[in-house]
Amino acid sequence: MARTENSFITASSMSRRNFVSTLATAGALLPMAGLANPFTPVSPVKSERLICVFSKHLQWLGVPEMAKAVADLGYDGIDLTVRKGGHIEPEQAATELPKAVAQIRKAGLEVPMIVTNITDPKDPFTEPILKAASQAGVKYYRTNWVNYDPKLGILKTLEQYKKQFRELAGLNKKYNIRGAYQNHSGTSVGAAVWDIYELLKDIDPRWLGVQYDIMHATAEGGESWLNGLDLLQKHVNCLDFKDFYWAKKDGKWQHQIVPLGQGMVNFKKFFSLIKQFNISGPMSIHLEYELGGADQGKKQITIPKDQVFAAMKRDLQTLRSMLQEAGLA
């Protein structure tokens, strides 16, 4: 049976990693009660910064095998896909998500966050997923993206979505889970970053905020991403990580995703602001550079699995080194 918030467990029955993770989860709940100003960021607790891997890159493994491999590599947890084509299909979330979380925790890992297709509180899969996730002890989930309606225009589209997202935040509050909308380069809502602020500025970030992606913020904002992060700082619930540089391919400039620390993202400045703004929450490593299909979430890969694991280990070590240098670990 999956562990819930009301389960009683002793430190002696857990691994050191599980014990620390459990303390972090408990600590994350404390700020949710009795805040005088809900828009004031909570002082970070270092143990809240659990480093997870995005399970999209391990779709070629079942949950137990994935959990063992990720634990062996030294990660703290898994950012689990609960979406169409993911490790858990939306229609199976009520029964399969608790089982998956229990299997992952059995390997000594946590599941602080999941990735979903959720945007509409009225979608038939939304509430069952949130209920199952909450009961399994998951504290954060990433939403899907929404698009601009060319007939309405930018501002009217945002106004239309504000009501929808307020209702979604209300549902999140009901199930005591934090939603997070990822900023992503392109033309969808959130690419420019300021539009996420307009969408979420009047919503309590305890229930719906941002999964901040420094790579996409850099791609869209150049050096002005600093202003965007400042604008969103009180709304950031979690973080995800990848690196890139601009490259010309087939006559077109495009993102060349590379291992962490090998691209143009200014992580040193980014982490100094994370520290300054007291931003905490779980972190997810994304491996979207060429990895034989693992980068694209394929069910089968064309390279030896050890190459994928080596990439995962390298990015984990790089991120931990960056956090340590910034005084965040």
pLDDT tens sequence across 68-88: 999 999 999 999 999 999 999
Provide DSSP, 113-146. EEE-----TTSTTHHHHHHHHHHTT--EEE----
Residue 157 lies in a domain: yes
The model's pLDDT over 40-62, given as tens digits with 9 standing for 90+, comes to 333 333 347 999 999 999 999 99
**Nearest C-alpha neighbor of 76 from the set 282, 239, 306:** 282
CATH number for the domain spanning 169: value is 3.20.20.150
- pTM of structure: 0.85
Question: Is the confidence at residue 30, as pLDDT, over 70?
Answer: no
**Is 306 domain-assigned?**
yes
CB atoms within 10 A of CB 186: 12
The mean per-residue pLDDT over the stretch 264-278 comes to 98
pLDDT of residue 34: 33
Percent of the chain with pLDDT over 90: 84
Domain presence at residue 3: no
131 has a pLDDT exceeding 80: yes
pLDDT (0 to 100) of residue 85: 96
**Residue 22 covered by a domain:** no
Q: What is the pLDDT of residue 313?
A: 98
> Is residue 34 a part of any domain in this protein?
no
For the chain, the average pLDDT equals: 88
What local confidence, expressed as pLDDT, does residue 126 receive?
Answer: 98
Say if residue 244's pLDDT is above 80: yes
Nearest to 30 by CA among 176, 200, 186: 176
Q: Is residue 311 part of a domain?
A: yes
Residue 13 has pLDDT above 70, yes or no: no
pLDDT of residue 115: 98
Residue 36 lies inside a defined structural domain of this protein: no
Q: Is residue 25 part of a domain?
A: no
Question: How many CB atoms are closer than 10 A to CB 26?
Answer: 10
pLDDT at 48: 77
The dihedral sign for the CA sequence 233, 236, 238, 240 = negative
161, 199 in Cβ contact below 8 A? Answer: yes
- Domain span holding position 101: 43-325
- Contact indicator for 42, 49 with CB cutoff of 8 Å: no
Domain count along the chain: 1
Average pLDDT score over residue span 131-152: 97
CB-based burial label for 272 (10 Å; 0-12, 13-18, 19+)? middle
